[in-house]
Structures are given as structure tokens and as C-alpha cells.
Chain A
Amino acid sequence: MSAPIRVSPSTEFARIMSVGSYRPERVVSNAEVCKRIDSTDQWIQERSGIRERRYARADESVCDMALAAAVVAVERAGISPAEVDTVILATVTHPYPTPSAAAEVAFRLGTAGAAAFDISAACAGFCYGVAMAQDLIRGGSAKYVVVVGVEKLTDWIDLDDRSTAFIFADGAGAVVIGPSAEPAIGPVVWGSDGEQYAAISMTQSLIDYRENGGERFPTLSMQGQTVFRWAVSQIAIAAQAALEKAGVSADDLDAFIPHQANMRITDAMIRTLGLPAHIPVARDIATTGNTSAASIPLAMDRMLSSGEVAHGGTALIIGFGAGLTYAGQVVHLP
């Protein structure tokens, strides 16, 4: 006969308690990007809405940026680092397959040996992390979870590739998710479409590079039209489903914070969703570029810090990217 096993007491609800972000110091203009690619400031702005972006220093790592954002988030949550029992870090640019960036960040943050792991869901990574954090808390496995989205994409892009060089950039954003007296994170709508794995992928594997050499270190490549079509059609449907599952109508939203992939994708999604014009929409990409997993918390922090959106407001967040993967949910803002 199986011995009876005690299980963790569950917690009913979880919420985002705080958000923090880190933007690298160096501002890189379109003019600077155009020194390496055949393009113009006007062309870049028309295609992407990007005016400038931030690049990390060569000696500034994924973990350094993640830590900087996490420190702010933990401070704002009003808890001590030792109370953080789980660190989930979403990235695709940590340059070590192992150990995880999360373990280093958990240590440097001053947690008391928090559970720590990375997730690889590209630009959807942050929303995957929010979903997992909420379930860990509700299931009784965690109390305070730091979810970080961080990327140093400049290490993995070809600055001479005119289809990607102007888009991607560096940065980090983090939230603390903890117990809540009332519902504050809606059901996640998530999934993947591995049939389209080539739409955003690396030019070759690191092993192929080592074995076959060649001049080109693996870099990120993207089929822009394919991604655009997928985002505008399928992701808008997922966003609508996230609203429905949460029982929230587009009219009830105080903010729409999609992954900052491209301003044109955001605009097309707004049209497909039929989002009312008065609802503030994250447009952080204009000065931040596309920072993949970091883009949603970076944009969230900016909207709250600037007063564009009130604390406690209701937001739809949705990430989508390589895999292809996507995840979105309705949340109450910290």
C-alpha cells in the first residue's frame, strides 16, 4: 500500500507585486546602426518604429543586467531578498548552456538558496515565467518568485545584417510575484508552433560552428514577413482568448503591453483586436528596440514610472517569438 504523502498547502491567488528594469547606459541611434547596414533612419523608423536602442557594455553580462532589474523589483516589493524562494529567468542570450543564469542571479541577489532555473521561450519567455510563477505560488511550491526577462541580443546578432541589426537590443526587466488576497493574474493562453521553428532561428548551431568552422559565428536570423503574419493573425487571436478567459473586455483594460517586437506589429494587432483608441499601448520599442524576453517588463516599468498607467490598473500582456512560442494573460499592474 502506498504511504500517504502530505502535500503543500495551496494559496488561492497570486499577483505581480512590483516591477523593476535595467536599461544599459549606451544609447545607439539609427544613424550609428546605419554605419554597418545599408539603411536610413527614416527606413528603420517606418519599418519598425525604432528611433534608438540601448546596447550593453562588452563587460556587462546577462546576469549583471538581470540582477540590476531584480534588485529594484525586490526593493519595490517591500520584501527582503532572503524571502525570495524562487528565481525564474527567461532568456535566449545567456552564453552558457549550464549553469543557469538564474542560479547566479539568485545567489548575487542574496536569496537564501532560492530554487532557480532558466526558461527558453524567447520573446514569450517573460509571460511563460509569469504563468509558471503564479502556478508555483497557487500550488504551494513557492511564496515569492522573481521572474526576470533579460537579453543581451547584441552578442547574438550580425550587426551587418540589414534585416535584424536595427531591431534587436539589450536590457532586463523583473517582477516579484507573490500571494494575493484577490485574483490578479488571469489564466495564461499559451502554446507553440514548432513547424515554424525556422522563422526565427540561429544561422547554425555552436557545434556546427566548432566542427565546420566557417567565418560566421552563429547569429539570429528572422523571416520578417512570416513572423509579422503570424503575430498579426494568430497572436491577436491568443490575445483575445486571454481576455475572454479572464472575463475582461478590451474596454476594461487600462493598458495593452505586447512584446515590443516591432511597432508595425503592435499597430496591426491593435486593429485586429479592435482595441479602443483610448487604451494606452506600450510603445517602449521606440527608444529601447526589441529586447525579446525583457521587453514586456521594461515597457511595464516605463508606463508605470511615467504615470501613463496607474498602479493597480488592468493590463493585457502577451509575448510571442522564436519557437514559435507565445503566451499572454491579463494582469493587475503592481
Chain B
Amino acid sequence: MSTEILDGLAAIVNEVAGVPVADVQPDKAFIDDLDIDSLSMVEVVMAAEDKWDVKIPDSEVKNLRTVGDAVAFIEKATA
């Protein structure tokens, strides 16, 4: 798993929702563990789209349950 993407995502989650960077680990679920609500999740997704120049459609967002899911999606999309 790309630590660069994980670090970038952690920075975004920190900026959007104030979650400490160290808490943003691959096994953590956005909603259940990090307390990111549905609207903050949209902001995280939009920031990720800008940062990595990828498209993450709304239909895909619900599949990104954990931080690891999101990192994997971005890895695949930028590969």
C-alpha cells in the first residue's frame, strides 16, 4: 500500500474533519472509527480528486468504507 497516498489522505482528513493524522490508518472506517459524517466524506473525496486528478463518482463513495479502501481506489485510479 502506498504510504504517499496514505499520508496525503491523512492530511486531507485532518484538514476537513480535524482528525489527527496519526489516527488515519488503513484499517480505520471513515464513518464508524473516524467519525467522518456523510458530508465531510464528500469533502474528503473532492479534495482527493483534486490532489490525485482522479474521478470518484458518488456511486463509488459508499464502497470506500475504510481508509484502506480509499487508498486502494486511488492507487488503482492513478496506476
Contacts and interface: CB of A to CB of B under 8 A. Distances in A.
Interface of A: 46-47, 223-226, 228-229, 232-233, 262, 264, 268
Contacts of A47: 37, 39
Nearest to A46: B37
B39 A225 contact: yes
B46 interface: yes
Nearest to A233: B46
Interface string B19-39: 000000000000000000111
Given A223-B58, A225-B58, A229-B58, A268 B43 contact: yes
Interface of B: 37-39, 41-43, 45-46, 58, 61
The majority secondary structure among interface residues of chain A is: helix
B35 to A, nearest CB: 10
Nearest to B50: A233
A228 B42 contact: yes
B42 to A, nearest CB: 5
Contacts of A264: 39
Contacts of B39: 47, 224-225, 228, 262, 264
Given A232-B46, A233-B46, A225 B38 contact: yes
Contacts of A229: 42, 45-46, 58
B37 A225 contact: no
A47 B31 CA distance: 14
A225 B61 contact: yes
Contacts of B61: 225
A312 B38 CA distance: 39
